[in-house]
A and B are shown apart, each in its own frame.
Chain A
Amino acid sequence: GEDVEQSLFLSVREGDSSVINCTYTDSSSTYLYWYKQEPGAGLQLLTYIFSNMDMKQDQRLTVLLNKKDKHLSLRIADTQTGDSAIYFCAEEYNFNKFYFGSGTKLNVKP
């Protein structure tokens, strides 16, 4: 569970879709999460997916889970400048313990 990997940077234009990818290692993870961190702030839960689901949609956010490849993605539709932040995926292992990825910095250009 310690190797949760994400690409470091993503740059998109306002109005485009953003796709942030994550790979994890613990196949027994029950839930997988996406958090958002804005400058100088703590992490804020954006969305989550249960491990027996393939997809979850929540307004502009779509989470895709490929359990076979241990790959998780977050798609943000119609990306806005306010979406600029660092996005972390996290896997829950054992009971209420979490490994976080290193974060993907999303830059949205007007």
Chain B
Amino acid sequence: EAGVAQSPRYKIIEKRQSVAFWCNPISGHATLYWYQQILGQGPKLLIQFQNNGVVDDSQLPKDRFSAERLKGVDSTLKIQPAKLEDSAVYLCASSLGGSGVYEQYFGPGTRLTVT
């Protein structure tokens, strides 16, 4: 079974520029998450999708971050304009969803550096 794919793996941009990240979850996984992991911290949930609908985006800075999951499969996360404090690893995870033990499968992440 192929894992969660993310691209690019690394990105360096200047502040005020725009950037987009892409995630392809495991086939058949209904739930998709985007997390922000700042160096030395645990992942912080930005947005959660169930199929192509948003379940939780309460911690997404909506003035500059946006995300979509068209057709309930791939997802993109965009930052426009970027700030220095956006430097982090952006992790995508997917899961079958539902109740019970809930295993999230994580992609390798995109490391963003804002200069």
What is A's interface to B at a CB cutoff of 8 Å? 4, 31, 40-45, 48, 50, 88, 90, 92, 95-98, 100-103
What residues on B are CB-neighbors of A31 within 8 Å? 101-102
Cβ-defined partner of A42 (8 Å) among B44, B56, B91: B91
29 interchain pairs (CB within 8 A)? Answer: A4-B42, A31-B101, A40-B108, A41-B108, A41-B109, A42-B93, A42-B106, A42-B107, A42-B108, A42-B109, A43-B43, A43-B106, A44-B106, A45-B103, A48-B101, A88-B42, A90-B42, A95-B99, A97-B45, A97-B48, A98-B45, A98-B104, A100-B42, A101-B42, A102-B40, A102-B42, A103-B40, A103-B41, A103-B42
What residues on B are CB-neighbors of A97 within 8 Å? 45, 48, 56
Give the contact-size bracket for chain B. 20 to 34
Q: How far is the CB of B48 from chain A (nearest CB, A)?
A: 7
